[in-house]
Amino acid sequence: MQYGTLTSSQRAMFDTKQGSFIRKPTFVVWIEGFGDTTEYVMRIDTEIGLESLRGRGSLNIGRAILELNNENGYFCSDGISKVKKCARIKIWAGFDHLNIPIFTGVVDNVKPIGTLNAVTINCRDYIGLFFDSIIKDELGLNNTPKSILEYLSSEVGVVANIIGTEEATTAYDELKFKGQKMMSVIEKICDSIFCVAYFDEEGILRLVEREFSAPLSRGSDWKFDDSNIVDCMLLADSEIINDVTVEYRSGFFSRCIDQSSIDEYRAKARQLGILSLSSDLISSQTQGTIQVLLDHDLEGFKFTTSNSSSVIDSVYVRMKKSDAHGYVCVKIYTNNGGIPGSLVGTSSLKASDNLTNEFSWEVFCFDTPVRISPLTNYWCIIDTDSVVSGTVSIQITNATVNAKYAYYDSSSWHIENGKYVLHIIRGSNQAYRVAEDVVRFYKKPYERVKIIAPAVPQLQLTDEIKVNIKKMGLAGRYVIERRRHVLTSETYTTIDTLRKVG
């Protein structure tokens, strides 16, 4: 909850007046170049939200629509606006002149209202400045979500207050933003760390986790019940996503699924192409042209992880088929005295029918990334046991190598020299965290509700509040995801869109 610059005693008085059955709504409107324009205002309608109505990953541009008296052509004369485009605007609202901020933004346009001596002023919050602005140069040392958002905010003349969480301070591998819209870049950043960016009532840019996990969610003692609402309506439940694949570099993926959600709601898959998050090249061998037929069910190569390795989520192998039918996968084993030891991970199956007839890079992904240690030997074994006909071949290097190749036969492992499979192995903790966050958040539908009430201006986006509306059978904890304020000199209503969290 927020109270602007009110003192503690004024806050207490504000709460008393807000809860009173007899109260007088008041507001203040300031427009750059005009100052206090409150006396001209006839109606105010503002709305802000965490995401646009287009859904996940889309920034919301908050809006405000004001109807003002235009006597003597104060704001608009002969159809020409006297308010400059992108003039700053700020709106406060409350009771008996105890006002707190509810909207900060810029003027978009001014339009006369028919034959009436009045105008409509359409405004956007500061997200609109990002929509209108193009990144002119590469961002240099600004290579984390926090530093990028702070830099872009400074470029358009607004303030950002970004908490330095681990996600917000993770560096990207490669960034090429020159020529792109700032808004598009911010959406990509939010997608890459599963966060939302929005401007609060004071016009300060915030970045919060989409899950609103404590301590980022704001608990509140406020409760909507049958005594303090005008109307309530159920909205469609939130969407379901239970199978997420994140492409963190071209052709490299991290995947997360929730099988219980798939069993209950069927598979609801989503593939995300996000900014190049930091990842580890764990092992690679890309030069070589010798062909080897996989004539054992299990055979493959030993590799040593890099000094920053922690997970494996993608394995590329050069292979081809010859009239093969069935399935292929790769398995990661520990190293036990120079031969494969314990199985620690199995990739998803790949239909051998879909392999090409000429050698190409085939990717195998793991539904759950394999946890590994740096500078440690492991084995990557190709399993062709489910190939029922035809053959599968791989390519190896012609370099001299010893004890890098193994196959399983007659109940034991056998080592061969002079063979090293062409491969690329990568992993990204950050990409898996994003996939895991998206699945955890969307794996089940959440109840959503819209509540119309006599004004509660002190509530904010991401506030967690209580709801107990018996006539609708609604009870529990909800998070505010969208807020609308509708004011005249006589009435003040707030309309909140809430998502149930408990």
The set of residues, in sequence order, having a beta carbon less than 8 Å from that of 462 and lying 6+ positions away, is 50, 208, 212, 216, 217, 218, 479, 480
479 contacts 463 by C-beta, under 8 angstroms: yes
44 phi/psi in degrees, rounded to 5: -130, 135
Class level of CATH domain 280-427: mainly beta
> Is residue 431 a contact partner of residue 246, using CB atoms and an 8 Å limit?
yes
Please give the structure tokens belonging to residue 252. Answer: 């490299």
In this prediction, residue 20 carries a pLDDT of 87
From the list 61, 69, 172, the residue with the least C-alpha distance to 116 is 69
CA–CA gap between residue 319 and residue 392 (Å, rounded): 7
Residue (of 79, 57, 43, 36) closest to 275 by Cα position: 57
Residue 234: partners with Cβ closer than 8 Å, 6 or more residues away: 447, 448, 449, 472
Of 171, 210, 242, the closest CA to residue 57 belongs to: 210
Token digits of residue 420:
């090293």
The secondary structure of 127-165 as a DSSP string is HHHHHH-B--S--TT--SHHHHHHHHHHHHT-EE-----
Q: What angle do CA 101, 462, 225 make, to 5 degrees?
A: 90
The answer to whether 162 and 150 are in contact (CB under 8 A) is: yes
Q: Are the beta carbons of 38 and 73 closer than 8 angstroms?
A: no
Cα end-to-end distance, the chain, whole Å: 19
* 316 within 8 A of 333, measured Cβ to Cβ: no
Report the amino acid identity of residue 66.
Answer: L
Locate 467 and state its tokens.
Answer: 């709801």
**What Cα–Cα distance (Å) separates residue 230 from each residue in 171, 296, 452, 470?**
48, 72, 5, 14
CB 427 within 8 A of CB 312: yes
CB atoms within 10 A of CB 369: 23
Residue 212 has what pLDDT?
Answer: 58
CA–CA distance, 181 with 177 (Å, rounded to integer): 8
- The torsion angles phi and psi of 293, rounded to 5 degrees, stand at -80, 130
> Alpha-carbon distance 148 to 45, whole Å?
32
Start and end residues for every CATH 2.60.120 domain found in the chain: 280-427
Residue burial 291-302, b: 16+ Cβ < 10 Å; e: rest:
eeebebebbbbb
Given this model, what pLDDT does residue 219 score? 57
Q: Determine what percent of the chain falls in helix, strand and coil, rounding each to the nearest 5.
A: 15, 50, 35
Q: What H or E segment, with its residue span, contains residue 87?
A: none
In the chain, what is the greatest distance between 2 CA atoms, to the nearest angstrom? 98
Q: What is the pLDDT of residue 211?
A: 76
Q: How far is CA 263 from CA 255, 266, 435, in A?
A: 18, 6, 19
**Radius of gyration in angstroms for the set of CA atoms belonging to the chain, rounded to a whole number:** 29
SS3 321: strand
Query: pLDDT tens per residue, the chain (502 residues)?
Result: 899 999 999 999 999 999 888 889 999 999 999 999 999 999 999 999 998 887 777 899 999 999 999 988 899 988 899 999 999 999 999 999 999 999 999 999 999 987 779 999 999 999 999 999 999 988 888 889 999 999 999 999 999 999 998 889 988 877 888 899 999 999 999 988 999 999 999 999 999 988 754 444 455 789 999 999 999 999 999 999 999 999 988 889 899 999 999 999 999 999 988 777 778 999 999 999 999 999 999 999 999 999 989 999 999 999 999 999 999 999 999 999 999 999 999 999 999 999 999 999 999 999 889 999 999 999 999 999 999 999 999 999 977 889 999 999 999 999 999 999 999 999 998 889 999 999 999 999 999 999 999 999 999 999 999 999 998 999 999 999 999 999 998 999 999 999 998 8
